[in-house]
Every structure is written in C-alpha cells, then in structure tokens.
Chain A
Amino acid sequence: MLGNALIGLREGLEASLVVSILVAFLVQTDRRRELPRVWLGVGAAIAVSIGVVLVLTLTEQALTFEAQEAFGGGLSIIAVGFVTWMIFWMRKAARSISSELRGGLEKAIAMGPVAVVVMAALAVGREGLETAIFFFAAVQAAGSTTGPLIGFLIGIAVSVVIAYLIYRGALSLNMGRFFSVTGVLLVFVAAGILAYGVHDLQEAGILPGLYTLAFDVSDAVPADSWYGTLLKGVFNFSPQTTVLEAVVWVAYVAVVLTLFLRPVRRAVPPRSDAPAASAV
C-alpha cells in the first residue's frame, strides 16, 4: 500500500510540479485565459500515454526496453529545453515589473498558445508512459487485490495536493519575489529532469558510464523512503548518481542560475560590466 502510494506520489509530483508553477505564473500575470490550454496539454499527454499503452496491450506488443528508455530520456531532455525557456521568460517578466513598465508586461511575456500546450504536455508526458503502464498493472491486479490501485491513487492525490500548495504558496508571494523564487526553483527542477533524462539514456546504452557513480547515498536516503520519494519527485534526485548525471546537473545549474541571477542591465551599460556573481 505505502510503496504504491509513494510511487504515485513520485510520478505525480514529477508531472504536476512544472504544471503548477506554469499555472501560478499565468494567474500571477493575469493571463487566466491561457489556462484551458494548460489543461489541454495535460489532457493530451494523459490521453496519448493511455492510448499507447492500450494499443500495445491489444496488439500484444510491448516497447523494447531501449525504446522505452530512449523515449522517456528524449522527452525529458526536450522538456528541459522548454522549462529553460520558461525560466528566462519569467526573468523577462520580472524585469518588466521591476522597471514599473506594467504596460510592457503584456508584450514581454506574450507567448504562443502552442508553447503553453506543448510545455504542459511535455511536463506530464515524459513520465506519462511509465505511469500509464504502472496504472494498467495496478488495474489488472485489482482483480485479486485492490491495494495497489488504491495506494497509487492516494499517492497521485497527495501529489496533486502538494502541487496545489506550491501553487498557493507561489501566489502568496509578491510579483518580484514570485519570479525569483519560482525561477530558482525551476532551475533546480530542470537540472534534475536533465540528469534524469541522461540516466535513462545511459540505461538504454545510448550514453556510456552507467556504473561510474559520482556518489551513492542510498543508505542515507533510501529510494523507497518518503523523503527519498519527495526528493526524487521534486528535484529528480537519485541516491545513486552517475558521474555524467552529476556533470550535466552542475553544468546546467552553473550556467542557467548565473544567467538567471545576473543583474538586470541598465539602459546604458557601463563600459566594463561587473562580472556576474558566480553561482557555483
């Protein structure tokens, strides 16, 4: 029961965290009219995930292991691209606000409706296939024991509650703080998704170095503990991290966080710009 609940919680958090920040951002900037597009993207990802699982089951086919890992890893890395773009999109919005150009805000953060749909779909879809397969297994087991299915649904429900609390918490911040806090949070979330995608590709044998570990803290942070689950769900933290994962994580955080936190340049930049504070 608990084990299945934690799986539901982890998968649910991985999917809902980015979506909740996206929704909070749209609400904060008075763009509620974009919200249906978010739900459209989420719905599409869920529908396609379940559809693929159903088709595979009915045709007695299964994805090969490599295909499944390449799919999850590839989508994760594409998702990182979108989240990174969202981070800088927030930064732009924050700048417009800090310079009191409320009128300019609308223009600064105008983005295609397509981008909203795709981002929401990717955030959910990258874990959608694995979750749908798991859900399907839980439904099948319900013939003999409903425990797994109930546990899984409880986990999903808890993740939705946590995502909602993050959303409310984000909304309670004033505009300026909202952008910097959620932006920094997103940097770490995206770095985690990137490392996770790299790990998937390592498992599929597309990238090398699956057994070259940077560290192993699985004794201190068991993967099946509630805190291990939360760390994995929010930051994609894995107790056994490979060197390649660690390298891309550090590189991503170093570059993106530095760019995100660098001071907003004035209209007339001084001749020698002070170097940006290093975030490492």
Chain B
Amino acid sequence: MSARPVLAALAASLAAVVVVGGCTSTATPQGAPGQPGPITVSASDTACDLSSATAPAGTISFTIRNAGSKVTEFYVYGAGDRIIGEVENIGPGLTRPLTVEVPQGGTYTTACKPGMVGDGIRAPFTVTGNAAAAVEGDAALAAAVQGYQRYTTSQTEALVAKTGEFTEAIKRGDVPAAQALYPVSRTYWERIEPVAESFGDIDPKIDGREDDERDPGVEFTGYHRLEKDLWVTGLQPDSAAMADRLMADVRDLQGRVGTVSLTPLQLANGAKELLDEVATGKVTGEEDRYSHTDLWDFRANVDGSQAAVAALRPVIDQRDPVLGQTLDQRFAALDALLENYRSGDGFKLYTELTPDDTKKMTEAVDGVSEPVSQVAGIIAA
C-alpha cells in the first residue's frame, strides 16, 4: 500500500469527523431584529466584560478579545457547571470566536480564566425564550410527544412492579400489606390514565366500579373489586384469581403502551381529562369509596397532567408566552394545597376531610383546569 491512499483515507476520515461531528453556523443571522452580531467579551488579567449579559435562545456568538498579559480561556456553563462551550488558548492580544447552541432559556454562567486556572471571573448570563421557535413547530411537537412517551413508559414499568407486589400480598392473604400497597400501585395507573383509556377495553377491566354498566356476563374486576375485598367483605375465594387477572391486564397495558403513537392533541386533551377526573372522582370521594384513599389518586392525576403540560411546554411558550406562567402559578397553588393533607408517606383519608376542604380543592382544581383547557386550542392552532 503506497502512501497516497493513506493520505486520502486520513483526509476523508478527518472530513467525515467534521461533517458528522456537528457544525454550527457562524454566519450572522440576516435581518434578525435585536441581533447586532456577536457579543464581545473584553478579557484581561482582572476583568471579563461582556457587551451584553443576555441573548435570545438559539445560536449565540461571542468574540473574546484578550487584552491582558496572561493566556486566558472563556467558558459558558449551564446548570451544575456543565460546559456548553469553551475556547482555550486565547493568548495575549488575540481575538477568538465562540459559537454555542443554547436551545433552552434560563440562567447560564460565563467565565474568563486568566492564567488558565481556578473558577475564573464569573458572571451570570441570561438566555431568553426558547429556541423551539427556531426549530420547526412540527419538530417541537414531535419532541413533546417523545418526551411524554418516555414518561408513560417509565410509569408503566413502575405500575407493573408495584401492582406485582400488591397482588402478591393479596395472594399471600396479607391484608395489611395489600392495603398499604393499594394506593401506591394505583398512583402509577392514575398518572397515565388517559393513555390507558385510549385503548378502550382495558380501562373498565382495571379501573371499573361496581355500579358501572357492563355487558351481560362481564364481571366486576380490577383494582376496585380487590379494594372492596380488602376493606369491606374480607378476602374472597376468588380474590387470588382476581389479583392474577389484574396483573394480566396491567401487563397487557404495558405491551400496548410501547406501541401506541400519541398525537400532541391527545397529550393536551389528556392533561385536561386528568383534571376532570379529579373534579368528578377524587374531590367527591367516588373513586376509592371503600378505602378512601382518593387523595393518592388526586395527587397522581395532577402529576400526570403536569407531565403532559411540561412535555408540551416549549410549544406553548412559543405560541403564547403568558399561558405558561399562568399554568405554573396555578399548578403551584394546587401543589401547595395538596401538601397540607399529607400524612406520613401518604395522605389523609377522604373521610377526614371537611366540606370546607373539598371546596378549597374544587376551587384549586378549577383554577388549573381553566388554563389547561386552553392548551389544546394552542396545540391545534
């Protein structure tokens, strides 16, 4: 093998690294309002002055000029000092560029390190907005769906594990253990209920109530049937079989969750449905009528709603900057209210609540429901 192919191979591999490795444009965006070119950083042995301490999310360019006598470095840090970008070896008298991609708004840190040591001369740097605007709307929506699907997958895994413990306790006849596990295992179910309901036939089997309408020959099965055994009638001869059926249905759900493809609109509607569930089933004490563990489900429904909204948040912020803040405030108020009813690892029983308590809860849920119901309109727009 002569040297020429080697050279070609070397050059090709270098070029490949550059192409594959990721480039970022350093061209100044044309006609972008409020973007007068790169941010200049005047670095010296004792100073690190930026021409602007804020920039919109997306591609941010810096030009670092070292007017000092020491070699310096310039860093942009994210949370926990994760390096977003850095330039080393800025010798005295040199000017070097740095271009970083910052898609997420928030507080970052800039630092010059004269003499290349220590934490450097640091200053906070604010990135405004979200670069989702720069991404195509479709890409942002796809990212939202992916993020939420990761959430449902992880919750379903936990659901299978905890329901396994719950049903094992029933089959052992260990009533106290099963009673303790009942609200815990349901938490994972309630967080992803809208996804489960999208399969139509699974929800009645897992979460049906005794007085639901059923086709002739279809039994009352699932969590609430076992709840009745544990708290009202005592374990029945067929409790263990019911436990096995619940487990089979939950596994069936897990198999299907992996294949479901949600739409962004389903996420938005799901967030709203979860809050409706709270209003109709939890605040009324209807859902867990035998065990009175409604507040566990309440908390889980709110969690699920928050997760769906959080996944859609970049798109929401892009299309309506105010709504996100409203959502944050209302969810925070609801969270704070629910915290008042904590008891040990769990919550107070529904029977311990006064009419005044449920009134406050209704108001807080309605407060969240109102902005959440606007999300679907924004997503569909």
Given contacts A118-B10, A223-B117, contact A52 B15 (CB under 8 A): yes
Given contacts A7-B91, A44-B7, A67-B17, contact A223 B115 (CB under 8 A): yes
B27 within 8 A of A: yes
Given contacts A44-B11, A61-B25, A71-B17, contact A222 B117 (CB under 8 A): yes
Assembled-state Cα–Cα distance A224/B18 (Å):
30
B200 within 8 A of A: no
CB-contact partner of B93 in A4, A6, A70, A74, under 8 A:
A4
**Nearest CB in chain B to that of A225: its residue:** B115
- What 0/1 pattern do residues 9 to 37 of B give for CB contact below 8 A with A? 01100110110011111110000000000
Assembled-state Cα–Cα distance A71/B20 (Å):
11
A137: chain B residues at CB < 8 Å are 90, 94-96
Q: By the criterion CB–CB under 8 Å, are A61 and B24 in contact?
A: yes
Size category of the binding interface on chain A: 35 or more
Separation in Å of the A134 CB from the closest CB of chain B? 5
Q: How many residues does chain B have at the interface if contact means C-beta atoms less than 8 Å apart?
A: 45
B101 within 8 A of A: yes
Residues of B241-282 whose CB lies within 8 A of A:
none
A133: chain B residues at CB < 8 Å are 96
- What 0/1 pattern do residues 55 to 84 of A give for CB contact below 8 A with B? 110001111111110110010000000000
Given contacts A3-B91, A113-B1, A205-B82, contact A224 B26 (CB under 8 A): no
Given contacts A37-B3, A48-B14, A205-B82, contact A147 B99 (CB under 8 A): no
Q: By the criterion CB–CB under 8 Å, are A218 and B118 in contact?
A: yes
Q: By the criterion CB–CB under 8 Å, are B24 and A141 in contact?
A: no
Assembled-state Cα–Cα distance A114/B1 (Å):
7
Residues of A254-268 whose CB lies within 8 A of B:
none
B84 within 8 A of A: yes
Separation in Å of the A69 CB from the closest CB of chain B? 8
**Nearest CB in chain A to that of B15: its residue:** A52
Q: Mostly helix, strand, loop or mixed at chain B's interface?
A: mixed
**Nearest CB in chain A to that of B69: its residue:** A3
Assembled-state Cα–Cα distance A62/B86 (Å):
13
Separation in Å of the A23 CB from the closest CB of chain B? 17
B85 within 8 A of A: yes
B1: chain A residues at CB < 8 Å are 112-114
B7: chain A residues at CB < 8 Å are 40, 44, 117
Assembled-state Cα–Cα distance A118/B26 (Å):
32
Given contacts A112-B1, A114-B6, A152-B91, contact A61 B23 (CB under 8 A): yes
Assembled-state Cα–Cα distance A55/B26 (Å):
13
Q: By the criterion CB–CB under 8 Å, are A63 and B22 in contact?
A: yes
B92 within 8 A of A: yes
A205: chain B residues at CB < 8 Å are 82-83
**Nearest CB in chain A to that of B1: its residue:** A114
Given contacts A60-B26, A61-B23, contact A140 B95 (CB under 8 A): yes
Q: Which residues of A contact B (CB under 8 A)?
A: 1-4, 6-7, 11, 37, 40, 44-45, 48, 51-52, 55-56, 60-68, 70-71, 74, 112-114, 117-118, 121, 125, 130, 133-134, 137-138, 140-141, 145, 147-148, 151-152, 203-205, 210-211, 218, 222-224, 239-240
Q: Which residues of B contact A (CB under 8 A)?
A: 1-3, 6-7, 10-11, 14-15, 17-18, 21-27, 69-71, 81-86, 88-101, 115-118
**Known A114-B3, A152-B91, A224-B117; 6 more pairs at CB < 8 Å:** A2-B69, A71-B21, A134-B89, A147-B93, A224-B116, A240-B117
A-B contact pairs, 17 of them (CB 8 A): A4-B92, A6-B71, A61-B23, A64-B23, A67-B23, A112-B1, A113-B1, A117-B3, A118-B10, A121-B10, A134-B96, A137-B90, A137-B96, A148-B91, A151-B91, A203-B86, A223-B117
